Amino acid sequence: MVGIYFSGTGNTKFCVEKFLTYYTGGVTACSIEDGQTVEAIKRNTEIVFAYPVYFSNMPKIVYDFINRNHSVFSGKKIFVIATMGLFSGDGAGCSARLLAKYGAHITGGLHLKMPDCIGDEKALKRTNEQNHLLVIAAENKIKEAAENLKLGNPVRQGLGFWYHMAGLFGQRLWFYNKTKKYSNKLHIEREKCIGCGICVSACAMDNISLYSGKAEPKGNCTMCYRCVNYCPKQAITLLGKKVYEQCIIEKYL
Ligand SMILES: Cc1cc2nc3c(=O)[nH]c(=O)nc-3n(C[C@H](O)[C@H](O)[C@H](O)COP(=O)(O)O)c2cc1C
Ligand code: SF4
Ligand code: SF4
């Protein structure tokens, strides 16, 4: 089994690696940002496919990855993991339906509540201790799910009609436009920026460049929040106006 994932701030990477540890005893996971990923899919029949949920949908970068490489998914056995701050309805189902359309066999789905990565909104902020407990609970769930898959009795969270309805009416319909296109809403405060380039090299979309020692965004953001959470000067915002907390998984382990 190989793990294929997208992870903005580390939650999903952590979860897929734990799943592989419990399922196979080792970790072979590739990010979709990595050039070797398509070859890794071709070489493996069994895949765990993982991503964070954005507005009850999969990130645009994940949607485009699947569509661009659709032929490699045919005949693969895919277990889908969706991580989220609170709720998604059918977070796993979003990619599962698309992958099944391209000929994959979906073996199961797992929803994992993890720390909220949106650092510039107060809404879902928890203490470090609460986030730490969330991560422990997620790991226990992962262990159980991996054991159940081994026993041939996989969990099927996010898959099926009722989950689909919950995702659609619970959130996706109202926020559908947010994940349909890449965003041009990233804001970088010029006065705060020291031109360190961390955001430039971190960005999954090559969406930030340095001009005259200051970072500037283009209009091609998948909203992963990596740059917002890594910037040493808290100069970057996306959905909110001010950085309240820089959220990265290492703080909560
Ligand atoms: C743009 C955006 C939208 C999000 N929408 C949702 C959502 O609809 N429901 C939810 O429970 N969490 C939502 N989240 C929280 C993330 O899914 C969650 O923190 C996830 O575990 C982050 O994973 P990562 O660290 O691998 O990027 C959203 C995060 C972002 C950045
Ligand atoms: S990480 Fe922050 S300080 Fe560094 S270049 Fe980007 S915006 Fe500027
Ligand atoms: S600009 Fe920032 S939030 Fe947008 S894709 Fe790049 S790293 Fe992620």
Exposed/middle/buried for 156, CB within 10 Å: 0-12, 13-18, 19+?
A: middle
- Count CA atoms closer than 13 A to 30's CA, side-chain side: 16
Beta strand pairing call for 105-113 and 2-5:
unpaired
Candidates 2.30.110.10, 3.40.640.10, 3.30.70.20, 3.40.1380.20; CATH matching 187-252: 3.30.70.20
CB-CB contact of 131 with 149 (8 Å): no
In the chain, what are the domain boundaries? 2-179, 187-252
Q: Which two tokens stand for residue 114?
A: 């993890």
Q: From the CA of 23, how far away is ligand 3's center (Å)? A: 31
Q: Which ligand is nearest to the CA of 230?
A: 2
Q: Which of 56, 10, 53 is nearest to 29 (CA)?
A: 10
The answer to pTM > 0.75 is yes
Residue to mutate, 6, 18, 55, ligand 1, most ligand atoms under 8 Å from C-beta? 55
- 55 C-alpha vs ligand 1 centroid, how far in Å? 7
- Residue 93: φ, ψ to 5°: -65, -30
Return the pLDDT at 61.
97
Which residues make beta-bridge pairs with 218? none
Location of structure tokens 């970072």: 215
List the 77-84 sheet strands across, edge first. Answer: 29-31, 2-5, 46-52, 77-84, 105-113
CB atoms within 10 A of CB 242: 11
Residue identifier of the C-alpha nearest atom 2 of ligand 3: 227
Q: Which CATH class is domain 2-179?
A: alpha beta
Below-70 pLDDT ranges, the chain: 176
Pocket of ligand 1 (CB under 6 A): 7-12, 52-56, 83-88, 114, 116-118, 171, 223-225
Check residue 8 and give its pLDDT: 97
